[in-house]
Amino acid sequence: MSKHTSNLSENDLSSRKHLLKQMARDLQSLQLRELQYENQIIEEKKERDSHLGILKEELKVVKERDEYIKNHKKSHLSSSRSSDSHAEEESLRINYYYQPMPRRTRREIPKLELGLTYLIFMERKMLKSIYIGK
């Protein structure tokens, strides 16, 4: 073993020490990155949870508003029935289900060029003359 250490030069020892120091720094930076990543994940989870809480509150408010509107409509319909405004209720019901007819689009008829129109006219004239015999 003494021969082995004696064969190693001082440059080899210093380069190995330098490599060990570099590996130790890399390991420390890797550990630091892992901690930062874990902290980032924890922060994102907290943020998601807070957003989820806000969304749940908004959903609750929307449901309460829908319930209020439904109850208000029911009370409105019952009061209109009691006042014998049956025709008004029917018109509301028709308007609720009415859907307007879809708009019709105009079909574009391709315009024939003047020369093509003339050719068609001349072909018909020739065919008539051949058929009649003139």
Residue 52, domain member (yes or no): yes
Residue 124, domain member (yes or no): no
pLDDT digits (tens, 9 = 90+) for 25-73: 999 999 999 999 999 999 999 999 999 999 999 999 999 998 888 888 8
Distance CA 24, CA 97 (A): 75
Residue 125, domain member (yes or no): no
Distance CA 67, CA 34 (A): 49
Cα-based torsion angle of the residue sequence 59, 60, 62, 64 in order, rounded to the nearest 10 degrees: 160
Residue 103, domain member (yes or no): no
Residue 105, domain member (yes or no): no
pTM (2 d.p.)? 0.38
Domain that holds residue 69: 9-97
> How many domains would you assign to the chain?
1
Q: Phi, psi (5° rounding) for residue 35?
A: -65, -45
pLDDT digits (tens, 9 = 90+) for 50-62: 999 999 999 999 9
